[in-house]
Amino acid sequence: MTEPRDNGPNGKRRQGAVTGLSAVQQTWQSIPEVIRRPIPLAIVLVLALTYPFIYKDLRSLGELGDFFPQLGSVVIILVFTMMAVGLNIVVGYSGLLDLGYVAFYAAGAYTAGWLASGQFEEVNFHLGSSGITSDVTGIHISLWLVFLIAGAFTAITGILIGLPTLRLRGDYLAIVTLGFGEIVPQVVRNGDDFGGFNLTNGTFGINPIDSPGFGDPLHDTLGLPVSYQASFQRERLFYWTILGLLLLTVFCSVRLRDSRLGRAWIAIREDETAAAAMGIPLMRTKTWAYAIGAFFGGIAGAYYASFKSGAFPSDFYFNISIFLLCMVILGGMGSVWGVVAGGLILGWLNVEGLAVIGSKFNAAAGTDFEIAKYQFGIYGTIIVLMMLFRPTGLIPERRRKRELEEGVHDESLYEVSH
Amino acid sequence: MATRESNQQRGPFEGVLRGARPSALSTVGLVFVGILAVWLLINLIKDPQDFFVVFLIGLTTGLVYALVALGYTLVYGILQLINFAHGDVFAFTGLFASTMILSVFNLTEESSAVTIVFGLAATLVIVTAFGATLNTVIERVAYHRLLKAPRLALLITAVGMSFIVQNVALAIYDVNFRRVPELIPRTDVFEIGGVHYQWNKFAVILVTIPVLIALSWLVQSTRQGKAMRATAQDPDAAAMVGIDVNRTISFTFALAGGLAGVGGLLFLLQFNIRYDTGFELGLIAFTAAVLGGIGNLSGAVLGAVTIGLIQSFNEGLSWMTPGSDWTRSIIFGVLIAILVFRPQGLLGEQTPDRA
Q: What is the dihedral of CA A256, A262, A266, A271, to 10 degrees?
A: -160
- Identity at A87, one-letter amino acid code: L
Q: From chain A, pick out residues whose CB is under 8 angstroms from the CB of B150.
A: 411-416
CA angle A100, A102, A106 (to 5 degrees): 130
A150-164, A342-356, B324-338: segment of lowest average pLDDT: B324-338
pLDDT tens track for B122-155: 999 999 999 999 999 999 999 988 888 877 888 8
Average pLDDT of chain B, as a whole number? 84
CB contact under 8 A, B156 and A376: no
pLDDT higher than threshold 70 for residue B33: yes
Residue A384: what pLDDT? 92
Q: What is the CA radius of gyration of chain B?
A: 21
**B75 vs A130: which has the higher pLDDT:** B75
Q: From chain A, pick out residues whose CB is under 8 angstroms from the CB of B352.
A: 168-169, 172
DSSP string for residues in B256-278: HHHHHHHHHHHHHHHS-B-TTHH
Q: Are A76 and A304 in contact (CB under 8 A)?
A: yes
Instruction: Tell me the mean pLDDT in the region A182-202.
Output: 81
Mutate to test the interface with B, among A88, A90, A175, A346 (most CBs of B within 10 A): A175
CB contact under 8 A, B163 and A170: no
Q: What is the dihedral of CA A297, A300, A306, A311, to 10 degrees?
A: -30
Residue A121: what pLDDT? 78
Calpha distance A16→A54 (Å, rounded): 36
Calpha distance B334→B307 (Å, rounded): 9
Tell me the β-bridge partners of B255.
none
Residue B15: what pLDDT? 43
pLDDT higher than threshold 90 for residue B65: yes
Residue A153: what pLDDT? 95
Residue of B155, B163, B167 lying closest to A171 (CB–CB): B155
B311 Cβ contact list (under 8 Å, min separation 6): B58, B61, B284, B327, B330, B331
Residue B9: what pLDDT? 43
Most confident segment among A267-271, A289-293, A410-414? A289-293
Q: How far is CA B254 from CA A164, A186, B231, B303, in A?
A: 36, 35, 16, 22
Which domains does chain A show, CATH number per domain? 72-405 (1.10.3470)
Pick the closest to residue B14 from B2, B3, B29 (CA basis).
Answer: B29
Residue A387 C-alpha, separation from nearest chain B C-alpha, in angstroms: 6
Tell me the β-bridge partners of A138.
A124
Residue B63: what pLDDT? 93
pLDDT tier at B21 (50, 70, 90 boundaries)?
low
In this complex, is the C-beta atom of B293 within 8 Å of any C-beta atom belonging to chain A? no
pLDDT tier at A194 (50, 70, 90 boundaries)?
confident
ipTM rounded to 2 decimals: 0.82
pLDDT tier at A169 (50, 70, 90 boundaries)?
low
pLDDT tens track for A141-158: 888 999 999 999 999 999
Report the percent of chain A where pLDDT is more than 90: 33
Residue A3: what pLDDT? 43
A121-135, A261-275, A277-291, B304-318: segment of lowest average pLDDT: A121-135
pLDDT higher than threshold 80 for residue B213: yes
Residue A202: what pLDDT? 81
Instruction: Tell me the mean pLDDT in the region A386-405.
Output: 78
Residue of B159, B336, B353 lying closest to A383 (CB–CB): B159
pLDDT tier at A216 (50, 70, 90 boundaries)?
confident
Nearest CA in chain B to A189: B325
Calpha distance A317→A323 (Å, rounded): 10
Residue of A167, A179, A329 lying closest to B335 (CB–CB): A179
A71-80, A222-231, A330-339: segment of lowest average pLDDT: A222-231
pLDDT tier at A5 (50, 70, 90 boundaries)?
very low
Judged by DSSP in three states, A157 sits in helix
Q: Are B22 and B275 in contact (CB under 8 A)?
A: no
Residue B355: what pLDDT? 32
CB contact under 8 A, B164 and A377: yes
Q: Are B243 and B229 in contact (CB under 8 A)?
A: no
CB contact under 8 A, A169 and B148: no
CB contact under 8 A, B150 and A383: no
Q: Are A111 and A302 in contact (CB under 8 A)?
A: yes
DSSP string for residues in B265-325: HHHHHHS-B-TTHHHHHHHHHHHHHHHH-TT-HHHHHHHHHHHHHHHHHHHH--TT---GG
Neighbours of A105 (CB within 10 A): 33
A11-15, A65-69, A111-115, B24-28: segment of lowest average pLDDT: A11-15
Residue B22: what pLDDT? 57
Average pLDDT of chain A, as a whole number? 84
A14-28, A127-141, B48-62, B82-96: segment of lowest average pLDDT: A14-28
Pick the closest to residue A330 from A316, A315, A314, A350 (CA basis).
Answer: A350
A53-57, A132-136, A412-416, B292-296: segment of lowest average pLDDT: A412-416
